[in-house]
Amino acid sequence: EPEVTQTPSHQVTQMGQEVILRCVPISNHLYFYWYRQILGQKVEFLVSFYNNEISEKSEIFDDQFSVERPDGSNFTLKIRSTKLEDSAMYFCASRGLRGGNEQFFGPGTRLTVL
Amino acid sequence: EDQVTQSPEALRLQEGESSSLNCSYTVSGLRGLFWYRQDPGKGPEFLFTLYSAGEEKEKERLKATLTKKESFLHITAPKPEDSATYLCAVYTGGFKTIFGAGTRLFVKA
């Protein structure tokens, strides 16, 4: 069964460093999303991406964040200068054009900022 | 402001003890309500989508229902492997999905 994959599973970085989180959505999906979940808290929407552009973003998704679909399979989230409060699980999700509006999530990347 | 509230925060059941989880929502223009299961350290796993009041969906021991203001996830005769956090989320037709805080379910053998 097709699934969303994410790499790395765990990323440790120093405050102020740039990180890139990678996702491979399900192959025929056209809508892509990033969410974060701080330990013990709810899943929070960051950004949605469709037709090679951001379709919506939350207040969390400030100038330190960017997304890109560099080729036909990868979808990335870049954090330019990480802060301690960026430590969280980051989930990628994708949705197909047909069928319901449900999104399918990857296993997540745990980001730890020291 | 769009809001999703889940109750209870945590629920402890004995194996075989049926119960229900609640998700109440206040959104402008519901386009879909989702239920997900999340195991510790993992991504949410899709369970159901409901679109309109009166709709019901079933999968094994789980049944989801929807009214105009809330959704219920009914768990019939749960087993220990049903222990997880159950997340409710609403889709309002933009490109944003709003999640509730979840209900942590513990099923004891």
In a 13 Å sphere around the CA of B24, the CA atoms on its Cβ side amount to 3
pLDDT at A99 over 70: no
φ, ψ of residue A47 to 5 degrees: the values are -160, 150
Distance between B65 CA and the closest CA of chain A, angstroms: 16
Considering only alpha carbons, which residue of chain B is nearest residue A58?
B96
Best of B52, B95, B104 to mutate (most A CBs within 10 Å, chain A): B95
List, for residues A33-85, the tens digit of each pLDDT value.
999 999 999 999 999 999 899 999 999 999 999 999 988 789 999 999 999 99
| pLDDT score for B96 | 81
With a cut of 50, list the residues of chain B below it in pLDDT.
none
Considering only alpha carbons, which residue of chain B is nearest residue A47?
B96
Contact A93, A4 (CB under 8 A): yes
| pLDDT score for A68 | 95
Cβ within 8 Å of residue A107, ≥6 positions away: A4, A5, A6, A9, B42, B43
